[in-house]
Chains A and B, each alone.
Chain A
Amino acid sequence: MKGFAQLFKQLDHTTKTNAKINALVEYFSSAEDKDKVWAIALFSHRRPKRTVTTALLREWSAELGKIPLWLFEESYHIVGDLAETIALVTPKATKKSDNTLSDWIAIIMNLKDKEEAEKRATILDAWTSLDQAERFLFNKLITGGFRVGISQKSIIKALAKFSGIEDTKITHRLMGNWDPKSITFEELVLASNPTEDQSKPYPFYLAYSLDITFDQLGDPADWSAERKWDGIRGQLILRGGEYYLWSRGEELVSEKFPELAILKDKTDKDIVIDGEILPYRDGKPLNFNTLQTRIGRKNVTKKHLLDAPIVIMAYDLLEYDGEDIREKPLQERRKLLTNMVNLADSDRLLLSEEVLFDTWEELAEEREKSREFLSEGIMLKHLHSPYKSGRKKGDWWKWKIDPLTIDAVMIYAQRGHGRRANLYTDFTFAVQDGERLVPFTKAYSGLKDEEFKKITQWVKKNTRERFGPVCSVNPELVFELAFEGIAKSTRHKSGVALRFPRIKRWRKDKPKEEINTLEDLNIMLAEFG
């Protein structure tokens, strides 16, 4: 565990990507193969199945730290990370341990189905034999969420540097379903013909926001445009008569969308489609909130299938008849895709239609209509572009519409988590409705630390009441909020739910008497909801 703790410290101590890559290379050169596989797994969000509930971890750590449970919970709220809170409140180690990373993981996995007393003894023994940094990592092995600011890209770069194998090959090898318990480092990274896995997706090609001028884009005739649909980016794989669906987060989500399984009977060829997982009915997309009812659910009921029907809105074809066609120009891929979709003739697989335009001005006008289509804007793709891996500039651009905005007053404030533990950063906002204020959204990003500091000072002096970590404050500070969409909601007092609300700016110039009203929100709902 010492080596892994050392790696973690190095990654945590620097903000520079190169230093992180070097630390990883150093680790890959010295660690045991088993530990390397686990390190890759952990940094790419794979972890052993949880064998101890967090409720028990909280209880035992409060007990070991000799503090009441409520005090543990308040500390956790401030620190914002359970694994870290436990590491901080538990006392110094009283013994030593030479267990490696994979030893500890084996110990944790072994707790499955054990009696509570045995679990407790094992966990307390671990806590008393690990130093604070190791204790934190040990807890992370149980609770998950290894956020060290290390991207998948950096891990791939480091493995490429260490092994001398190309980045793209490593990227492919690390994707898909592999089990760190059984796979060896050799099989995962080094083997030139890795075990064929017919579910294996291609890396997604992601676009940057348009930040160049029309002149720089050149001739409109070289470009293809389509709507930027507001669902979840997905990759549909139909190979060997099977159906797989991957989300952009490299998560296999086939089982969450069982209605798409019929697509495997619609073609006899092996194909891979890049598209949007989109809730869709009667010839038009549904609000993103509809899709949210389907995410994070293991069991899909008939009601879900009825209320939130899903389609694949196809953007691109990456594999055709078993052949990787990503290097072919978009134009050709698109032609094959169109044929493919027409032949499949299914109401579950739709083609993302091209938006036709002759001049950039015409396209700009089309972009203005985005909300009518419940889309987020326009995607621009060069007709000759290959399908690249990862976020790349030049051939593909996303051109989003400007967000909706509203002026509102802050009524509740809460201290931030983790990164901003000592500042008030989470706010609830209200609009005016006659004499009363109606809360309608929370927002917690968009301001600079300097501004959060000022607001924190202000909150301390303007607190009316406290409800645990939340303070109600005098309704005085006015903010302009930006959001991507608005939908009807029965869960909120205001009757509306906003999509991706954030703080656009602090309107110090605006008195609270001039904020927007509930009626304004309802007008927006009628227009865009």
Chain B
Amino acid sequence: MQLIEFKEEGLYVPQADVYIDPWKPVDKAFITHGHSDHSRYGNNSYVCTHSALPVIKHRLGSHINAKGIDYGEEISVNGVKFSFHPAGHIIGSAQIRVEYKGEVWVASGDYKTTKDGVSENFESIKCNAFITESTFGLPVFKWQPQSEVMREINDWWRSNKEQGKVSVLAAYSLGKAQRIINNVDHSIGKIFTHGAVENVNEVIRKQGVHLHETTRVVQGQKQSIYNGGLVIAPPSAVDSAWSKKFKDFSSGIASGWMAVRGTRRRRSADRGFVLSDHADWDELVSAVKATGAERIYVTHGYTDTFSKYLSSIGYYSAVVNTDYTGDELSVASDVEKRIETK
């Protein structure tokens, strides 16, 4: 049974007249998480998890008709049962489980299966058909444990501090920024944030999530207060005149793309740290296997390759064209621009 159809507007559940993460305005939108390529303006109504709701309202406006739901809570629309389950991608991110007459489909949005200490831990859901991303769906992408990456960031920060430099680290302002803020070694120094990051921090703190103390970078501060500090800013800001306010600084980027030397060198940062909120190759393959699904739909990233691989190991697999980008760096700059202009 084709429980979810792939339409021009988005992933569509015809029996319930519900869209999942639509990229064109629709009546009923169920949203996996707050990143801009998954939750867009203009829908008549929104459903998302309670913990994703504040950020989505912050981004799309408090006037939107949006309803929060608990993880695991079931809502029924015209006989179709929907429930949201942790995707481990960012705070509030969910895989959406859809069940009708015994057939179960899962639309997983973006996900990672390892714990990051901030997002709700990924849960594997049994289903007949699994809709998966493949942002990093190539066997060259294999992440180090988070602790290793944090150690690299700490070493870099510490060595910059010893040289009297500011460490400016580019990270997506929703998700990666908070992950870094909570997991670096706080004994090294103070953490500062770009406005786009701090705005998200405020929203997240208000919903009761603990974030380590951060200080917003504002105009007209003495240069010296930043010395030895770690500044977290969106990639677009690190590349722009904004970062010039720190006279002597070293720049870094935290992104899964940094695994490839060419991409790392293209960004003119001093350091690249391989840190992603998306599943790496091994996670993607094991996540697919754990669902027990026989049909796999691949939505974005290295779709052709990943789908071909799944077919080669015995799955029915197809590529679905969507408007999701999953491209951590370019998505980031789009979102930041929107947040900054708000």
Contacts and interface: CB of A to CB of B under 8 A. Distances in A.
Interface of A: 12-15, 65, 67-68, 70-72, 74-75, 78-81, 84-85, 88-89, 149, 417-422, 449, 453, 457, 466
Contacts of A453: 330
Contacts of A80: 262
A72 to B, nearest CB: 8
Given A71-B309, A419-B265, A449-B266, A79 B139 contact: no
Given A68-B312, A466-B304, A81 B262 contact: yes
A67 B262 contact: no
A84 B270 contact: no
Contacts of B262: 79-81, 417-421
A85 B270 contact: no
Interface string B304-342: 110011001000000000000101001000000000000
A417 B266 CA distance: 11
A422 B257 contact: yes
Nearest to A19: B270
B175 to A, nearest CB: 19
B242 to A, nearest CB: 17
B67 to A, nearest CB: 32
A84 B261 CA distance: 8
Contact of B140 (A15, A75, A419): A75
Given A419-B265, A457-B325, 6 more contacts: A12-B264, A72-B139, A75-B140, A79-B140, A80-B262, A88-B139
A430 B308 CA distance: 31
B266 A85 contact: no
Interface string B157-192: 000000000000000000000000000000000000
Contacts of A88: 139-142, 259-260
Chain A CB within 10 A, most for which of B140, B257, B262, B309: B140
B203 interface: no
A79 B309 CA distance: 18
Contacts of B260: 78-79, 84, 88, 418, 421
A78 to B, nearest CB: 6
B271 interface: yes
Contacts of A75: 138-140, 305
Given A78-B138, A419-B266, A12 B309 contact: no
A127 B195 CA distance: 45
A449 to B, nearest CB: 7
Contact of B266 (A14, A78, A420, A457): A420
Contacts of A81: 261-262
Contacts of B141: 88
27 contacts: A12-B261, A12-B264, A14-B270, A15-B268, A65-B139, A68-B312, A71-B138, A71-B139, A71-B309, A74-B138, A74-B305, A75-B305, A78-B138, A78-B140, A79-B260, A79-B262, A88-B142, A88-B259, A89-B139, A149-B265, A417-B262, A419-B265, A420-B262, A420-B263, A421-B260, A421-B263, A422-B327
B100 interface: no
Contacts of A13: 270-271
B302 interface: yes
Contacts of A70: 308
A78 B139 contact: no
Interface of B: 138-142, 257, 259-266, 268, 270-271, 302, 304-305, 308-309, 312, 325, 327, 330
A478 to B, nearest CB: 24
A149 B265 CA distance: 10
Chain B CB within 10 A, most for which of A74, A419, A422: A422
A471 to B, nearest CB: 10
A449 B257 CA distance: 15
A15 B302 CA distance: 30
A15 B270 contact: yes
A268 B139 CA distance: 63
Contacts of B268: 15
A14 B265 CA distance: 9
A85 B265 contact: no
Contacts of A466: 304
A67 B262 CA distance: 23
**For the complex of A and B, 8 pairs with smallest distance between CB atoms:** A418-B262, A88-B140, A419-B262, A419-B266, A75-B140, A67-B139, A89-B139, A75-B138
Nearest to B300: A460
A89 B140 contact: yes
A335 to B, nearest CB: 48
A449 B239 CA distance: 13
Contacts of A67: 139
A73 to B, nearest CB: 10
B85 to A, nearest CB: 29
Contacts of B261: 12, 81, 84, 418
Chain A CB within 10 A, most for which of B142, B260, B302: B260
Chain A CB within 10 A, most for which of B259, B261, B271, B309: B261
Contacts of B312: 68
Contacts of B302: 78
Contacts of B304: 466
Contacts of A419: 262-263, 265-266
A446 to B, nearest CB: 16
Contacts of A420: 262-263, 266
A422 B263 contact: yes
A88 B327 CA distance: 20
A12 B264 CA distance: 9
A94 to B, nearest CB: 15
A474 to B, nearest CB: 15
Chain A CB within 10 A, most for which of B139, B259, B266, B302: B139
Contacts of B138: 71, 74-75, 78
Contacts of A89: 139-140
Contacts of A15: 268, 270
Contacts of B309: 68, 71
B196 to A, nearest CB: 19
A27 to B, nearest CB: 18
Contacts of B264: 12
A70 to B, nearest CB: 8
A78 B261 CA distance: 11
Contacts of A71: 138-139, 305, 309
B234 to A, nearest CB: 16
Contacts of A85: 140
Nearest to A415: B302
Contacts of B259: 88
A417 B260 CA distance: 11
B248 to A, nearest CB: 12
Chain B CB within 10 A, most for which of A75, A149, A417: A75
Nearest to B257: A422
Nearest to A80: B262
